């Protein structure tokens, strides 16, 4: 029996209009509450952005920044961040490297980007970070532990750049693609899947009591946790190979369709 549901957001729960069928979800959420099913929002995005989609809904757990931060109604519950020295090293590499990469440094309290960043990149950053500050320089990092770096690159070069970053910082970072030209630089071993496994252990639930939904490679670990894993219709080849089941498109409320069947 399903006792927890974990959903990725972009390309999974949210449609192309960056929204979801709210009346339909209200009914599904009510069923989850009745049946004691926990709802986990698991995303590479910032907690404050994720929470904005579910105003008025209690008892939601947010696994944000690809598993580095976990929040619930009582506030921050889990946290992992880069050392200051490594964060400085990564920042210098991104600014001075060959690929001319623009990035957001994601902290616990806020995210940070250069004032000199292009308007296109600023628009991208504001979609995913509701708490966002512009800084003149990264010569001094903000007084806020950095948990992730987010990049938006040319789609055709996404995997090439991710591989380049992983080679340059072998063992120190993991660069993962989250679709559509997005790359997240995360702490090795810090994943949505690991954060969700800790939650399941805390709640006394078995992995196969979880239903998980995803579309991109930063979802692989949480999909591998359970036999009740669903790849969205539009997903990466790796997700297709990892998930045990298929879900309709995110533009057809695929997650909600499946949950309606699972919850009865």
* 70's tokens: 């976990």
Judge whether 8 counts as a catalytic residue.
yes
Q: Is residue 164 classed exposed, middle or buried when 0-12, 13-18 and 19+ CB atoms within 10 A define those classes?
A: middle
- The DSSP output letter for 14 is B
* Long-range own/partner contacts, residues 27-33 (CB < 8 A, 24 or more apart): 28/256, 28/259, 28/260, 28/263, 29/57, 31/263, 32/5, 32/259, 32/263, 33/59
Q: Give the CA distances from residue 145 to residues 35, 108, 170, 176, 249, in Å, rounded to whole numbers and listed in that order.
A: 38, 6, 21, 20, 36
Q: Which helix (H) or strand (E) holds 77?
A: strand 75-79
Let me know: does 44 contact 184? Beta carbons within 8 Å: yes
Nearest CA among 195, 172, 184, 191 for reference residue 111: 184
Q: Would you give the distance in Å from CA 102 to the centre of its chain?
A: 19
Let me know: does 135 contact 114? Beta carbons within 8 Å: yes
Question: Rounded CA gap, 24 and 176, in Å?
Answer: 32
Q: Give the CA distances from residue 161 to residues 38, 116, 175, 211, 246, in Å, rounded to whole numbers and listed in that order.
A: 37, 22, 9, 32, 29
Which of the residues 8, 10, 215, 219 is marked catalytic? 8
Active site residues: 8
């Amino acid at each position: 029996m399903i006792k927890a549901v974990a959903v990725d957001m972009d390309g999974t729960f949210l449609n192309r209009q960056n929204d979801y069928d709210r009346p339909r979800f209200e009914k599904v959420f009510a069923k989850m509450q009745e049946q004691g099913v926990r709802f986990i929002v698991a995303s590479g995005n910032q907690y404050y952005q994720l929470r904005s989609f579910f105003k008025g809904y209690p008892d939601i757990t947010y696994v944000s920044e690809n598993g580095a931060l976990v929040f619930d109604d009582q506030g921050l519950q889990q946290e992992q961040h880069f050392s200051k020295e490594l964060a400085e090293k990564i920042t210098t590499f991104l600014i001075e490297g060959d690929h001319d990469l623009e990035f957001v440094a994601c902290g616990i309290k806020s995210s940070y980007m250069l004032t000199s960043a292009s308007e296109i990149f600023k628009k991208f950053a504001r979609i995913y970070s509701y708490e966002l500050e512009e800084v003149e320089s990264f010569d001094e990092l903000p007084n806020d532990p950095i948990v992730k770096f987010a990049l938006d690159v040319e789609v055709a070069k996404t995997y090439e750049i991710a591989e380049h970053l992983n080679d340059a910082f072998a063992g120190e970072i993991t660069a993962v693609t989250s679709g559509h030209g997005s790359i997240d630089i995360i702490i090795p071993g810090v994943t949505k899947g690991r954060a969700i496994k800790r939650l399941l252990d805390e709640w006394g639930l078995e992995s196969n009591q979880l239903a998980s939904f995803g579309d991109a490679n930063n979802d692989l670990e949480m999909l591998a946790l359970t036999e009740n894993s669903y790849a969205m219709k539009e997903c990466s080849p790796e997700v297709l190979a990892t998930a045990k089941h298929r879900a309709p498109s995110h533009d057809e409320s695929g997650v909600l369709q499946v949950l309606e069947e699972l919850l009865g």
